[in-house]
């Protein structure tokens, strides 16, 4: 089974005052998407972008037979960059983890056709409604190889020149928010969540989200979502109105994987390059009760069907969307094969790096597949926190020291296929333990001295199997146990 892992980064931030000032017009006046506007800007600014787009389209047209080359489930690592202005986590645009996880769940449900409203697809289209066989996971490793959560919270005070009073159009967001915060776009799906997205033409605060098609600049690649759209059917965004169920995210990730609006951004003479979606003369903004048949804006003769307003790439309200088509699936998989190939091998869960020998001043996290050893004078200065994670042994030399309120966390992560035995040593305080294969971490936590504290806890790790990724709930991820050997 070949797997593709895309990691998305989403950004969320802003206070109640911020929301009051920047929430935008009533929901019925919102624009579902700014991707087309962004696409036209990139074509005007980057001549190579237009050529890249033409090459991608040519490959898809000429290689429809290659769809089956990507076999099995593709898993995409996602990092959410939550852009905020200092609000407490879970407040306003500094979205709670529960809504981020809800959005991730909705992406998985929609792309795997396990969405709870899949039964609402009309009989005319159930035969072509697709399980895209693409899934999404929170990135567990950052671009430097350190452990990560896939949620990257960024206060705008750390971003030079960013001001809430400015016009946050796609050009502004790309230059001032995306570029300073992006993770390697070849290996991660970056998702930014922001308090507002404004139109370039008049700064109208009406856009729910936008994406960058494949082929554009690497340092701005990804998806931008208005924070109020982040959620799911099971956990709607309380500030989202008609767009609270996470379908803006589904729509924009569709663009990220090269889907065009279902009406082709034109009239009945323009197509979305997908054969099994009916022609449409314009976008549909269908709302409750989502009655089918709705408009039939283009007459295609024999076998003509009404507009597919329930497709994720139309502009209907979230509750009316429920399907991708088989043709759209083919287009997305061929895009992964040609234009987003590095995502196929991008890691979702931490991998065990090489052995490491450390010396000098330490700060941050150090991983090793077998062992970590300190050599000579090695110190952790006051206020620094250091995490040493190994699948084998951690050895601290006689020259190792900590000062002040330095923190040292030593973990043993089992990356092997059999239980890992932690040997007895003075550092372990007589502990002799086994870590079950692949699932858990034994960790020693100490402050002021790396050898005095006798506190251990068992921490449940992300476990990835061949068929699925299990993400333990955040609050139950850490199971604390104390091991004491007097």
Distance of CA 53 to the CA centre of its chain: 23
Residue 354 — pLDDT band, cuts 50, 70, 90? low
pLDDT at 345: 66
**pLDDT (mean) for 206-212:** 96
**pLDDT (mean) for 61-71:** 80
Q: Which two tokens stand for residue 82?
A: 């939550």
Distance CA 51, CA 453 (A): 61
Distance CA 169, CA 189 (A): 21
Distance CA 204, CA 106 (A): 28
pTM attached to this predicted model: 0.72
- The percent of residues above 90 in pLDDT, for the chain, comes to 55
What sections of 28-169 are H helices per DSSP?
35-45, 47-62, 97-112, 123-126
Residue partners of 422: CB distance under 8 A and separation at least 6 = 412, 428, 431, 432, 433, 434, 435, 442
Per-residue b or e along 351-373, where b marks 16 or more CB atoms closer than 10 Å to that residue's CB: ebbeebebeeebeebbbbbeebb
Q: Which of 56-70, 74-88, 135-149, 436-450 has the highest mean pLDDT?
A: 74-88
**pLDDT (mean) for 323-341:** 95
**pLDDT (mean) for 174-187:** 96
pLDDT at 344: 75
Distance CA 82, CA 191 (A): 8
pLDDT at 412: 53
Percent helix / strand / coil, the chain, rounded to 5: 25, 25, 50
pLDDT at 414 over 60: no
pLDDT at 320: 97
Residue 35, classed as helix, strand or coil, is: helix
pLDDT at 437 over 80: no
Active-site residue numbers? Answer: 252
Mean pLDDT of the chain: 78
Q: What is the dihedral of CA 309, 313, 317, 320, to 10 degrees?
A: 50
Residue 410 — pLDDT band, cuts 50, 70, 90? low
Question: Can you state the angle between helices 247-256 and 97-112, rounded to 10 degrees?
Answer: 60
Residue 372, classed as helix, strand or coil, is: strand
CATH fold label, 16-345? Collagenase (Catalytic Domain) (3.40.390)
Residue partners of 205: CB distance under 8 A and separation at least 6 = 22, 24, 25, 196, 197, 198
User: Could you tell me which residue, 367 or 212, shows the higher pLDDT?
Assistant: 212
pLDDT at 315 over 60: yes
Which pairing describes strands 189-194 and 223-226: parallel, antiparallel, or unpaired?
Answer: parallel
- Structural domain spans, the chain: 16-345, 356-479
pLDDT at 214 over 80: yes
- Are 229 and 208 in contact by the 8 Å Cβ rule? The answer is yes
User: Could you tell me which residue, 144 or 158, shows the higher pLDDT?
Assistant: 158
Q: Which two tokens stand for residue 458?
A: 């068992």
Q: How far apart are the first and last CA of the chain?
A: 49
The tens digit of pLDDT for each residue in 220-269 reads 999 999 999 999 999 999 999 999 999 999 999 999 999 999 999 989 99
pLDDT at 122 over 90: yes
**pLDDT (mean) for 67-87:** 88
pLDDT at 422: 39
């Amino acid at each position: 089974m070949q797997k593709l892992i895309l990691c998305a980064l989403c950004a969320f931030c802003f206070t109640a005052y911020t929301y009051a000032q920047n929430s935008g017009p009533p929901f019925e006046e919102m624009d579902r998407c700014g991707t087309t506007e962004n696409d036209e800007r990139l074509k005007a600014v980057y001549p190579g972008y237009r050529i890249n787009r033409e090459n991608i389209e040519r490959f898809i047209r000429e290689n429809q037979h290659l769809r089956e080359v990507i076999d099995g489930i593709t898993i995409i690592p996602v990092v959410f960059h939550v852009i905020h202005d200092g609000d407490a986590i879970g407040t306003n645009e500094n979205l709670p983890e529960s809504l981020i996880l809800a959005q991730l769940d909705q992406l998985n449900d929609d792309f795997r056709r396990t969405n709870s409203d899949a039964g609402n697809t009309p009989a005319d289209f159930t035969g072509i409604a697709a399980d895209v066989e693409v899934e999404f996971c929170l990135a567990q490793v950052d671009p430097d190889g350190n452990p990560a959560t896939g949620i990257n919270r960024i206060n705008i005070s750390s971003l030079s020149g960013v001001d809430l009073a400015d016009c946050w159009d796609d050009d502004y967001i790309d230059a001032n928010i995306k570029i300073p915060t992006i993770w390697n776009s070849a290996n991660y799906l970056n998702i930014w969540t922001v308090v507002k997205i404004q139109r370039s033409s008049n700064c109208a605060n009406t856009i729910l989200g936008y994406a960058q098609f494949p082929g554009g600049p690497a340092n701005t690649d990804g998806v931008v979502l208005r924070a109020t759209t982040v959620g799911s059917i099971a956990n709607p965004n309380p500030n989202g109105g008609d767009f609270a169920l996470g379908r803006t995210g589904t729509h924009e990730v569709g663009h990220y994987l090269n889907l065009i609006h279902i009406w082709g951004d034109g009239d009945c003479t323009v197509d979305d390059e997908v054969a099994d979606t009916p022609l449409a003369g314009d976008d549909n903004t269908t709302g409750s009760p989502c009655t089918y048949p709705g408009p039939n804006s283009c007459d295609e003769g024999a076998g003509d069907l009404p507009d597919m307003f329930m497709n994720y790439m139309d502009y209907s309200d979230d509750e009316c969307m429920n399907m991708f088509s088989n043709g759209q699936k083919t287009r997305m998989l061929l895009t992964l094969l040609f234009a987003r190939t590095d995502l196929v091998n991008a890691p979702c869960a931490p991998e065990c790096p090489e052995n490491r020998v450390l010396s000098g001043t330490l700060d941050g996290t150090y991983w090793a597949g077998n062992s970590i050893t300190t050599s000579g004078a090695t110190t952790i200065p006051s206020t620094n926190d250091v995490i040493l994670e190994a699948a084998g042994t951690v050895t601290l030399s006689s020259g190792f020291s900590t000062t002040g309120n330095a923190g040292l966390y030593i973990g043993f992560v089992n990356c092997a296929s059999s239980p890992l035995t932690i040997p007895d040593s003075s550092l372990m305080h007589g502990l002799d333990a086994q870590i079950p294969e692949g699932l858990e971490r034994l960790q020693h936590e100490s402050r002021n001295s790396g050898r005095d504290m006798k506190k251990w806890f068992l921490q449940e790790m992300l476990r990835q199997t061949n068929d699925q990724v299990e993400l333990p709930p955040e609050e139950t991820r850490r199971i604390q146990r104390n091991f004491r050997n007097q």
